[in-house]
Chain A
Amino acid sequence: MTVHPFAIELLQLLILIGLSPAFAGWVKVVKCRLQGRSAPGILQPYRDIRRLFIKDVVLAENASWIFRFTPYLAFGVTVLAGGIIPLVSVDLPLAATADIIALVMLFAIIRFFTALAGMDIGTAFGGMGASREMMISSLAEPAMLMAVFTVSLASSSTSLTQMVTTMGQGQFMIRPSLAFALIAFIMIALAETGRIPVDNPATHLELTMIHEAMILEYSGRYLALIEWAGMMKLMLFFSLGIAAFCPWGIAANGDLLALALGVAFFVLKLMLGGVIMVLIETGMAKMRIFRVSEYLGSAFLLATLGMMAFFILE
């Protein structure tokens, strides 16, 4: 029995929207266990979102429509991105909407508007967060592109489904270029999703926060949307990594069994990926903001090395 591609698309979006808080909860639980604290439970993010949706909104007097529009935009763009990245199957009608470069740019829209929203209310924190976020992203983007380019060399395509198909169905071989690209990608993904060592999502300390500083003034449903979009973004970056570097197990067509297997593999890989991220986060300290340029510079260098390795070795 086969499933219609549009149904798969819908399934993907449901997984993304429905499971991303659970994934964020999973990361939190693993982190607590690893650091010897008691965990709030995997369902805590759902409870947080629900609470925020029920609460009334308190809006700064000076806030303009940009401030109110940004949460919806962030949510909308993230959901759209979720329809493009192959999570459980490559048979997606929306997959051709954007290749991986366009996808990176989709995330850039969210960042652009979140930074503007940070500046909208006119506090020093908002501007500080916006300024730092834009600096980090402008250094991360070239590195990201180099990593993407190295991966795309193997399949000579920047289309994600094409990359997954070549990787998943081709012969397994160890490619040094991909190893470099993977390390670079992990480093950049940590920076782009605002995790330690670049940013700390758990802090509200004035001088160290970046992403939190921009959204400090949000409350109620706006905050819920932004937080939810943030959780989805974290999951999507993992999915992007899974699709680009280890897509094995993903469903190649709409076959029901393959699809079920695809979902199972996806959840397993996510859980494993979450553990790896927690290990990195627990093992490292947050770095000074001006060290980030060196950090991202080395990510860029690794990705470039990967590209050279492809041309020289493969």
Chain B
Amino acid sequence: MPPLDIACISILLLLSVVALSPLLSRRERLLIPTAFSLAALASFAAVLAGFLTIQQGLNSAATIPLGLPGLPFNIRLDPLAGFFLIVIGLLAGYVSIYSIGYLRAYPGRRPVTPLVLFYLLFLAGMLMVVLADDAYFFLLSWELMAAASYFLVMYEDEKAENRRAAYIYLLVAHVGAIAILLSFGLMAGLGSGFDRFDGYTFDAMRTARLAPGWAAAAFFLAFFGFSAKAGVIPLHVWLPEAHPVAPSNVSALMSGVMLKTSIYGMVRVAFDLLRDFPWWWGGIVLAFGLLSAVLGVLYALMQHDLKRLLAYHSVENIGIILMGLGLAMIFTSFHFPALAALALVAALYHTLNHALFKGLLFMGAGAVIHATRERNMEEMGGLIHKLPWTAALFLVGCVSISGLPPFNGFVSEWLTFQAFLLSPALPHPLLRLLVPLGAALLALTGALAAACFVKAFGVTFLGTWRGHRKASQIHEVGISMRLGMTLAAVSCLGLGVLPTYVIGWMDIIPERLFGGQIAASAGRFGWMWLTPYSYERASYSGPVVFGGILAVVAITYLLLHVRGTAIRRAPLWDCGFERITPRMQYTATAFAMPLRRVFGFLFAIREQVEIVSPQNHPVMADRFNYRLRIRDRFWNWLYTPLADGAFIVARLVGKLQQGRIQVYLLYSFVTLIVLLVFLG
């Protein structure tokens, strides 16, 4: 069966489950396993389709006679689309398995059918976006995806916080969608004339040649629109609001793969539809990538809500992906196809990696919330004893996202470093000097991410329990949740240890887009050694690092256990105090304090210490009340003025609204006269 058919069947399967699931709405305990098993099946079918496409290097297109008369839907499956099918399908499959257990707690508390429906629609929407080969179908799918995810964020709509988050999300998503629509309009209209409809296919846009100014306008409109969806700073504000309030399986999908559809859009528009661009486009993409990465991770460090912290990390990782993308654009514009291929592969590899480890982390956070009914890390602690599986799997996610070998996050960050360090080849003196500084910012990002995940894992899972509930009420999560997380964790390790295979196999994507290849050099020394540019330049061997660490650890362990030494368990050393309480442990806020001081100028911080003393004397303090509020500066700098401005404009325009029919008739009359004068 051709891959395109498999992909279509996968989408049809999802849509038919959508159609049929209301029938089971009275038997939700049956609906959940059925619907999500089918969703997992459809997702893995999409993975298969993507895999075959890349494996065989296919580029197949089809026209579906649906849609408006004269405007049929065009779909196409090329290696780039195939790669994103894999990214979406792989994580969606794992998350669907996880959802079977995750949603088991819901029936009886609230109706699950809408969640199932919109989940499936959301999934279908994402797959359709990737397959679309014309602007019309693309935007239709894009909106399906946005609307479905809006309802998913709204799912627990009794909380005002959730409604607000969903509203902000919808607003930003639509501002972005308008920009994308305008961008496609420019490309279609300027390419083949505004009076015809046939310019709307991507094929027509590929052949159209735009004037440089208009091309830049089209690209930056698209970049703006996709950035709004991806959460690039300063358009990131919806992300830390929407991700925490959505159910965790939905946050895993939104953060893991929905953001990636905008990366797909950027690659498609830049490398496939426009193709010819000057270096400064890439420079701007790179600059926004750096900004998002550094600020994203710094904001993440300040959070104590586990899911909010993860949401800010999505901003950071999108930034890292954009760095690779920006570098690829710069290298392409100076005609270095091999270097551009390295940067693009780094970006795409990080896209896949981020989908997996962020999905894993959100699933882990979901498991923690499921077990403790708590989102605030300050109320957790010591969960490694209660949730041993979740803890180990969450740790895999933490190590991966911190970019530590031998896991997958390291490989893609290392490739991005290599792309940065190859920038002295550029013929532009300014770029040669400035681009390497980007590598330093990437290093800063990676190190801060490691600090943040030491905090997240340490405060949540290590130490002793700080919460109000009894620790004995907390139990490990069910088998399907563990299975979903385990699969993601194993993928993280696999992608980290055997990158050479994956890169050799992905190589066709840059080759089709701009004729650059890296596989020949990347795999020259066999599957063990990854040498992205040349052997003399740099090399990394995942298997040796993994095997070497494992071997030395095993040997040391065995050598030390030849002679049995006893382990004596003893209470904590309490420094002579009477007893240590869990409240004396370092909290998330305390952990981040040194970095808050170093980078404090980036945040709007308000810190208050209030001394409560019955004797009304500071020396006789009974208790200290400490209040800390950290806000995103972008709210004050950008969004509050915008919202105020919109309000003022709305009030001015509102004066037109008189509420009297005569006035409205007058408006119509004047409009008619004006139109007659101009068009007549």
A residues whose Cβ falls under 8 Å from a Cβ of B: 53, 55-62, 64-66, 72-73, 75-77, 79-80, 83, 94, 96-99, 101-102, 105-106, 108-109, 111-112, 115-116, 118-124, 126-128, 130-132, 134-135, 137-146, 149, 152-153, 156-159, 162, 216-217, 220-221, 225, 289-290, 293, 300, 304, 307-308, 311
B66 interface residue, CB < 8 Å from A? no
User: Looking at B421, B455, B458, which has the most chain A CB atoms within 10 Å of its CB?
Assistant: B458
Is the pair B565, A157 in contact by a Cβ cutoff of 8 Å?
A: no
Q: Judging by beta carbons under 8 Å apart, are B538 and A59 in contact?
A: no
CB distance from B534 to the nearest CB of A (A): 9
- Let me know if B572 and A221 touch, CB within 8 A: no
Chain A residue at smallest Cβ distance from B565: A56
The answer to whether residues A73 and B553 also contact, given A64-B385, A123-B584, A152-B421 and a CB cut-off of 8 A, is yes
- 28 inter-chain pairs at a CB distance below 8 angstroms, sorted by A residue, are A57-B565, A59-B569, A60-B571, A83-B548, A96-B531, A96-B535, A98-B545, A101-B414, A102-B540, A105-B410, A119-B463, A120-B462, A122-B381, A122-B382, A122-B580, A131-B594, A134-B455, A138-B448, A138-B451, A139-B447, A140-B447, A143-B440, A153-B424, A156-B424, A159-B536, A289-B594, A304-B437, A311-B432
User: Would B463 and A221 count as touching, CB distance under 8 A?
Assistant: no
A142 to B: closest C-beta gap in Å = 4
- What is the bound-complex CA distance between A55 and B563, given in angstroms? 12
Q: Residue B326 at the A interface, CB < 8 A?
A: no
Chain B residues within an 8 Å CB radius of A101: 414, 417-418, 538
Chain A hits for B540, CB < 8 A? 97-99, 102
Of B451, B566, B598, which is within 8 A of A293 by CB? Answer: B598
Q: Report the Cα distance A116→B444, complex, angstroms.
A: 20
| Nearest CB on B from A143, distance (A) | 8
Which residues does chain B contribute within 8 Å of A149, judged by CB atoms? Answer: 421, 436, 439-440
Point out the residues of chain B lying under 8 angstroms from A134, CB to CB: 450-451, 454-455, 591, 595
Is chain A's binding surface mostly helix, strand, loop or mixed? helix
Let me know if A56 and B568 touch, CB within 8 A.
yes
B546 shortest CB reach to chain A, Å: 10
Most central of B447, B536, B548 by chain A CB within 10 Å: B447
| CB pair B404 A124 closer than 8 Å | no
Instruction: Give the complex CA separation of A157 and B421 in angstroms.
Output: 9
Complex A-B, nearest 7 residue pairs according to Cβ-Cβ distance, in ascending order: A127-B586, A119-B458, A122-B463, A134-B451, A76-B552, A138-B447, A141-B447
Please give the distance in Å from A269's CB to the nearest CB on chain B: 25
Q: Shortest Cβ distance from A72 into chain B, in angstroms?
A: 5
Query: Which of B440, B565, B592 is in CB contact (< 8 Å) with A145?
Result: B440
The reply to whether B457 and A116 form a contact with Cβ atoms under 8 Å apart is yes
Q: A142-B443, A145-B440 are in contact. Are A122 and B565 (CB under 8 A)?
A: no
Docked complex Cα distance between A168 and B603 (Å):
48
| Contact B549 A142, beta carbon cutoff 8 Å | no
Q: Residue B193 at the A interface, CB < 8 A?
A: no
B570 touches which of A58, A76, A102, A124 (Cβ 8 Å): A58
Contacts of A97 in B (CB 8 A): 539-541, 544-545, 548
- Give A272 Cβ to nearest chain B Cβ, in Å: 30
From A98, A99, A142, A158, give the contact of B444 (CB < 8 A). A142
Contact A119 B462 (CB under 8 A): yes
Task: Please indicate which of the listed interface residues A53, A57, A109, A120 has the most CB atoms of chain B within 10 Å of its own CB.
Answer: A109
Tell whether, in the assembled complex, residue A109 and residue B570 are in contact, meaning their CB atoms are under 8 Å apart. Answer: no
Q: Output the nearest chain B residue to A135 by Cβ-Cβ distance.
A: B594
- Determine the distance from Cα of A83 to Cα of B541 in the docked complex, in whole angstroms: 13
Q: A119's contact among B404, B424, B454, B553, by CB below 8 Å, is which? A: B454
Q: Mark B521-544, 1 if CB is under 8 A from A, else 0.
A: 000010001010001111111001
Since A77-B552, A127-B585, A138-B451 are in contact, a sample of 10 more A-B pairs with Cβ atoms closer than 8 Å, ordered by chain A residue number, is A73-B549, A80-B545, A94-B548, A97-B548, A108-B404, A112-B450, A123-B573, A130-B591, A146-B440, A159-B538
Q: Which secondary structure dominates chain B's binding surface? A: helix
Residues on B with C-beta less than 8 A from A141 are 443-444, 446-447
Q: B420's closest neighbor in chain A, by CB?
A: A149
Task: Find chain A residues with CB under 8 A from B536 CB.
Answer: 157, 159, 162
B148 to A: closest C-beta gap in Å: 38
* Complex interface: chain A residues within 8 A of B421 (CB): 149, 152, 158
**Residues on the A chain within 8 Å of B439, using CB:** 145-146, 149
B403 within 8 A of A: yes
State whether A80 and B590 are in contact (beta carbons under 8 Å apart), knowing that A97-B541, A99-B538, A142-B440 are contacts in the complex. Answer: no
A98-B417 Cα distance, complex, nearest whole Å: 13
In the assembled complex, the CB of B7 is this many whole angstroms from the nearest CB of chain A, namely 37
What is the chain B residue whose CB lies nearest that of A206? B575
Given contact pairs A102-B540, A123-B584, A142 touches B447 in the complex (Cβ within 8 A)? yes
CB distance from B318 to the nearest CB of A (A): 20
B441 an interface residue at 8 Å Cβ cutoff? yes
B405 on interface, CB distance cutoff 8 Å: yes
Chain B residues within 8 Å of A217, by CB: 572-573
Q: Which of B399, B447, B572 contacts A123 (CB 8 A)?
A: B572
Residue of A nearest to B566 (CB): A56
- The 8 Å CB contact of B384, one of A59, A64, A83, is A64
Q: Which of B441, B454, B548, B565 contacts A80 (CB 8 A)?
A: B548
Decide yes or no whether B556 CB sits under 8 A from chain A.
yes
Interface residues of B in 562-620 (CB under 8 A from A): 565-573, 580, 582, 584-586, 590-595, 597-598
Distance from A136 Cβ to chain B, minimum over Cβ atoms (Å) = 8
Assembled-state Cα–Cα distance A57/B414 (Å): 39
Q: How far is the CB of A16 from chain B (nearest CB, A)?
A: 12
CA distance A102 to B540 in the complex (A): 7
